[in-house]
Amino acid sequence: MDFKIVKEMLKKILLVTFTAAVLACHAAPQPQQLVQGVSNIMPDEKQALVCKEIVALIENYNYKKIKVNDSISSLVLDKYIKELDPYKYYFQASDIKEFEKFRNSLDDDFRSGNLNAPFYIFNVYLKRYNEFINFAFTEIKAKQNFNANETYVFDREKMPWAKSKAELDDIWRKRIKYELVNLKIAGTAEAKNQETLTKRYQALKSQASKLNNQDVFQTIMDAFTETIDPHTNYFNPANAQQFNEDMARSFEGIGARLQLENEILKISEVVPGGPAFKSKLLSAGDRIIGVAQGDGEFEDIIGWRIENSVAKIKGPKGTKVRLKIIPVGKEMSSKPVIIELVREKIVMEDQSAKKKVQTIQSDGKPYKIGIITVPAFYADFKAANAGDPNYKSTTRDVRLLIDTLKRLDKVDAIVMDLRANGGGSLVEAIDLTGLFINKGPVVQVKDLKNEVEVSEDANPGVVWDGPLGVMVDRLSASASEIFAGAIQDYGRGIIMGTQTYGKGTVQSSIDMNKLVNPSILQKLAALVNKNGTIIKTGKEDVKLGQINLTMAKFYRVTGSSTQHKGVMPDIQFPSLYPMDKIGEDTEPSALPWDEVKKSDFAPVADLTPFKSELVKLHEQRMDKSPDYKIMVQDIAESKKRESEVSVPLNEAKLKVERDSLEAKNLARLNSLRASRGLAPVKKGDKIKKEDNFDFIQNESLKIMADFMQLANPKGKQFVKTTGEFK
């Protein structure tokens, strides 16, 4: 959303000449404290510049209007250490004591772009991590006594830091023993278990060796920004690209999903409709060992980090890429096949809104209900701004799905499934609401100046005027809460599920390159590294990343914020997710709940008279439902297991616990299968995809059938349209 404050901020910053920043590029950096026994990862000039700018943005434009001071420094230090070592497996008490010298200085360091302290802490962590990996290789081969009555504490969050290397070694020894006893209980031979675990730790060692200063900087900035508030986030260049591709639900490349397997890049899936698919030259399982741009030289990518390899394969549409392929089924020693592809824009349809139709019988009458699953509120802003008439967006996709549900499927009702939808574009939340209401306010936004702007659906008419339901859960957040809250406030539909996440803040995405004088980018581009080679070739190549800065709060049309409280469903289900661990109200740095003046809106209906009867009918079904009973039992069991922090290392005891749990779960599963007329399964059997049953969705459809019988017995429209929707 283009808030005036964002435009004013960018205009103001872009007019500034960054003399200090230019000087910083040439100033002699402070010496980095080195850690012996490890390849030290060092910060660079770009990161120093970005760090300073982030401090300035937070102090001047974050909604909290917070000063980065010693108190913030202390919180950042604690959060950073926790992010690196949450369960206290690596750092020793002596390390933590040494880090205390940084407690009140990180604020000053960040303001000046000095990242030496947090990089030093990371290098200490890396040393301890490598020590653990090397210890693991030795311990895996050691003789284990699986009859001893030992206990392994796997959740050490509330435990003290290890006081010595010997104490840490004992923790590591038990961890390796736990992994070995797990494999032994699974029934494989000792030699095979040692081989499996050795390969696992070789892979971990390989991953650690590929860590670079961008990884470290991302972790540092995560600790910093999340201390300010949970949703102000910095993205390094690679993560910024991924974020924007996810938002656009599209990218430019060859159309293949890739994964790393034993240091080799492997194709896991070929995306239908993309260049790889249309060429018929690539298949799932093929391995890519080399990449060339156009007619250029091949680069061997074996052993590369996956994001570096992917960056070489992706590229602007219309450009050519050549790949060296070892086809699936061929030995790695085989002669590679060279193929050539022209990159295209790939639309991620599998991650876009989808529909299906189910028929529910209620009192002998069939009801056809369309279910539209919306995984996120996405929009390809780049394509939209470029004037592409077919740009990708949630609202455009859903509108087409509704059209099909109306004309071809002829459904009686529609249910929008927003479970696990973490939000996205605020504009899309407003536009999507507009498909179901006939003009009017959708959400209110309060900016840094405490000015409230009412955002409206300005398009007259609706796309769907029939019965509507919305499914939510604890993971439904932000834009999902705007949509569900507006539908509820207007009386436009029934909300079903659990209390939502409670994210009531608005973030603006800011390209860090746009905040920096172009002359500085040119100077950064000209910097050389220790080997004397150019880091970058031009200012366009110097990417500084992106920050999503919390700059506003949104409120429902009633004036109530969704912050902390979220949206409370009309028909409630038990939460599958722990409410005390997931949600805005569990975040210590979250903004508080408040409210603003009610906006001028007119509800389309009063559904209150029907809600108590819907709850009653729902509860009557739940009293008789084996699915509901077992779901409640599963939630209770899960809560019980969450409180456990240790396991026995005695093979016999651990096996009894596992067998008992598996038997209990299998009995529950077969009880449910019997209630659906399905054959029982045995331990180890794979469940067919078609046998999976979404109980919460099925019950939500029954609630909609109840709703139609109670509120719409004569098939009347729920919303009167005025004018044509455009």
Indicate which residues carry an active-site annotation: 478, 489, 503
Burial class (CB in 10 A: 0-12, 13-18, 19+), 685: exposed
- What is the rounded distance in angstroms from the CA atom of residue 720 to the CA atom of residue 438? 8
Output the six-digit token pair for 350.
């599998």
Residue-wise DSSP of 10-56:
HHHHHTS--HHHHHHHHSPPPPPPP-TTS------HHHHHHHHHHHH
* Pairing outcome for strands 365-373 and 413-417: parallel
Helical H segments across 530-650, by residue range? 608-624, 626-642
Where does 303-425 show beta strands of DSSP type E? 320-326, 337-342, 344-347, 354-362, 365-373, 413-417
| Integer-rounded Cα radius of gyration of the chain | 28
Cβ(674)–Cβ(680) below 8 Å: yes
Burial class (CB in 10 A: 0-12, 13-18, 19+), 331: exposed
Backbone torsions φ then ψ of 668, nearest 5 degrees: -65, -45
Helical H segments across 462-549, by residue range? 479-489, 518-525
Cβ(687)–Cβ(681) below 8 Å: yes
Burial class (CB in 10 A: 0-12, 13-18, 19+), 313: buried
Three-state SS annotation for 185-215? HCCCCHHHHHHHHHHHHHHHHHHHHCCCHHH
> How many C-beta atoms surround the C-beta of residue 624 within 10 A?
8
Q: What secondary structure letter does DSSP report for 721?
A: -
Q: What angle do CA 249, 254, 258 make, to 5 degrees?
A: 80
